[in-house]
Amino acid sequence: MNPKLKFKVRRAGLIALQFFKDSPDGNLFIAEARRHIPFAIKRVYFINNLANAKAVRGRHAHRRLEQVLIAVSGSFVLQLDDGHRTQRVLVNDASHGVYVGPLLWHTMTSFSYDCVILVLASEWFDERDYIREHDVFLQAVMTSRRQKPM
Ligand code: TYD
């Protein structure tokens, strides 16, 4: 990932972790809440066993949840859609995560065989926070823009 990557979709951003290259004794990556990560972390989960090249994950947005997605190993393609613009990002750098804010439709595909995705989340799991239908998502974006400029 280019550390200067610019996001044209709203409510997304690049997150630089603290990084020590302890070569030849490995690399050390650090993510501290409210320091490197722009929210207090309430939940951590990770996804592995992505050997199926046709796997598709995500395909939803959240109403309030904020997350940072990090490819701690390997790579995947993250497709983002803020309701107005779309952007495709190759996530392939353990020293940088992608901030995925509320009302951002996200889909993950093209996982490398060794891909492991670590996700830092601002809230405990709540299925009611999910928007799993794209037309409901577009409606939520429109309603939100009427209420406050984002
Ligand atoms: P989902 O968030 O849809 O996965 P992805 O975005 O990676 O495709 O979650 C898949 C299933 O796992 C869904 O039934 C909800 C459940 N789940 C939990 O119970 N707790 C969690 O913290 C997460 C992330 C998912």
Nearest-atom index, ligand 1, CA of 47: 7
| Cα–Cα distance list, 67 to 22, 51, 63, 97, 135 (Å) | 28, 24, 12, 10, 22
114 C-alpha to ligand 1 centroid (Å): 20
Residues known to be catalytic: 60
47 C-alpha to ligand 1 centroid (Å): 10
Q: Name every protein residue with a CB atom under 6 angstroms from any ligand 1 atom.
A: 43, 45, 47, 57-58, 125
pLDDT confidence band for 145 (50 / 70 / 90): confident
What's the pLDDT tens digit per position in 85-120? 999 999 999 999 999 999 999 999 999 999 999 999
For residue 11, which of 105, 88, 95, 93 has the smallest C-alpha distance?
105
Backbone angles phi, psi at 27, to 5 degrees: -120, 150
Q: How far apart are CA 139 and CA 26, in angstroms?
A: 47
SS3 139: helix
57 C-alpha to ligand 1 centroid (Å): 9
- Residue 98 · residue 68 · CB < 8 Å: yes
Average predicted confidence (pLDDT) for the chain:
96
